[in-house]
Structure 1
Amino acid sequence: MFAVLGESYVSAGMLAAVVMCAGLLRGFAGFGSSLLIVPVLGFSIGPTVAVAIATMLEGVATMLLLPASLKRADRRMMLIMSPCAAMAIPAGHALLVSLDPTLSNIAISGAVLTMTALIVAGARLPLRHSSAGHAVAGGLQGFFTGFGGVGGPPLVLYILAGEASPATKRASIITVSSISLSIALFSTAHFGLLTREALQGAAVLTPAFLLGGVAGSYLFRMAGDRFFQRVALTGLMLAVLALFTANLTRALS
């Protein structure tokens, strides 16, 4: 089963190590695991399989955090953003399956690089916090969830610009992500992305992802959120830059 992730057990083991690092990032930063999983797996086994695997892994992680988050989330924001995300997810999936895999890899890597740089720089999504702003941000989150499994950054950039408490912001991010990922799984199945290869890959990688998440939560309690987010996301940006360059070079060769 390991061989489904690569040409050899060594390459599969390396991918599992990447996924563990992604779980580590998720554990102490609260988001961002797909930013690492999708570009790396996409380069190795193709973007459509990578997005399906990332959606399943993220779904497991967010669902575990959902019950506690529902109590603190901004319900008005959630009720507006979630339907807009749901409508945009199929559009992202449709674009993903229609593009050439190499172009998809380049587009996903470029989008991830840009959004990661914005988060590292402390940027905010320039939308006014209103019903219209919730709708646009939800649509962006849904589209990028479908196209690259990377809907977290638009959501984070928008919610962090609000006036709510940090606990409410975190809970809102987790709640909207959970609802979007649930819908994304149905859309993934509709577009034929839940292949046997993707299901096997997710099954193999789930233990590594959860182990990384537990370790990341422990490190967060020791060192604090700000330090680790900066270090992890800066390293992530450099990794994605390397992958984007490799994808672009392969496309031009």
Structure 2
Amino acid sequence: MPTRHRHHHAEVRILKKSLIQDGLVQLSLWLTLVATTLLAGLGRGFTGFGGALVMAPVFMTFMDPVTATTIILIVNTVVGLANLREVGAETEWTIAKPLSIAGCIASPIGLWLVTSVDVDLVRRVVALIVLAASFGLALRWKFPFSIRHRIGNAVLGAASGSLFGLGGVGGPPVIIGMLAEDLPARVARATLLTYFAIVQTCTLVLMTLEGGVAGDGVWYGVAMIVPYYLGSALGLRLLTPERAPLFRSASIVVLVAVAAYGLLPH
């Protein structure tokens, strides 16, 4: 009998130790996700884009790509729509409206192509184009298109929307088009945030209808909305008139980082 009790107590101690270890692992995971999401929101709020770049490599360390993509899409959609009231007044709607229409129309094309093309190859090609365009922006080259003109706007919006549907890499075409214009920093940022909110909402709705939204990703996504919103709100307030000259440089740095990440094996 005493031996049986000793075995029982030993099993209880092992179980408690295991539960504590599991709890610490879960706590560490949540703290990492929250800290990463806050940082991602901060960068997004300041430049108008780049949140996914910060989140994707970290999230995909702990979970599968579908779950990570679902989280990223949910937080960007919800926070983007929440920010619309604040950024709407500064948005250049003559650019954002036709751009959003083209992006939403083209998004299903990307979702359809995702099953028939090599997404990694597309990412790498886009990354190379973004890298070249980023250096062009840094050197202030004149681009052969304008996001203000009807054809340039439609082409950039369609390219962005299809790439969002294809693999969540839809930001660079419109970012490059926006930075090629001499728009005030806050107007450029607001226009980007408005466009992304609309097109990512379209993409999320389409993914949901096709059953492409993962269950775990939904719960994680809902949990990450608050830290992403707080980080984004802080980033929005950091872009003061005094810091406006930093906007272009910060945006180009983020674009180069996006391109570098896209060239890495996934």
Q: Shorter-chain-normalised TM-score: which range?
A: 0.7 to 0.9
Structure 1 equivalent of residue 85 of structure 2: 67
**Structure 1 residue aligned with 2:174:** 155
Structure 1 residue runs of 4 or more that deviate by more than 6 Å after TM superposition: none
* Aligned with residue 222 of structure 2, among 180, 203, 207: 203
Give the share of equivalent positions with the same residue, in percent.
24
RMSD (CA atoms): 3.5
Q: Which amino acid is the alignment partner of residue 160 of structure 2?
A: Q
**What TM-score do the two structures reach when normalised by structure 2?**
0.71
Asked if 1:134 is matched to 2:153, the reply is: yes
Q: Could you tell me how far 1:106 is from its partner in structure 2?
A: 7.0
Q: Deviations over 1:180-210 (max 9, x none)?
A: 1221121111222222111012022222222
Structure 2: tracts of 5 or more residues without a match: 1-24
Q: CA deviation digits over 1:165-190, x for unaligned, max 9?
A: 44443333232222212211211112
Long gaps (5+) in structure 1? 1-6, 248-253
User: Separation in 1 of the partners of 2:202 and 2:258?
Assistant: 29
Counterpart in the other structure of 2:197: 178
CA spacing shift, 1:141–1:243, aligned 2, 3 Å: closer
Q: Is the 8 A contact 1:25 1:213 kept in 2?
A: yes
The letter of the residue matching 1:122 is L
* Structure 1 pair 121–83 and aligned structure 2 pair: CA distance change class (3 A): same
Q: Secondary structure at the match of 1:31?
A: coil
Distance 1:33 1:152, change over 3 A: same
Q: Decide which structure has the larger Cα Rg and report it.
A: 2
Which residue number in structure 2 is paired with residue 45 of structure 1?
63
- Contact preservation (8 Å) 1:125, 1:157: no
Contact 1:52 1:188 in 2 (8 A): no
Distance 2:251 2:181 in 1: 24
Q: Do the aligned partners of 2:137 and 2:252 also contact (CA within 8 Å) in 1?
A: no
Q: Determine which of 111, 128, 134 is the counterpart of 1:93.
A: 111
User: Quick one: which of 32, 37, 46 aligns to 2:50?
Assistant: 32
- Listed as ranges, the matches of 1:180-195 within 5 Å are 180-195=199-214
For residues 101-155 of structure 1, the C-alpha deviation after alignment (integer angstroms, 9 at most, x for no partner) is xx64675477457637744763686423421111101101212222233322211
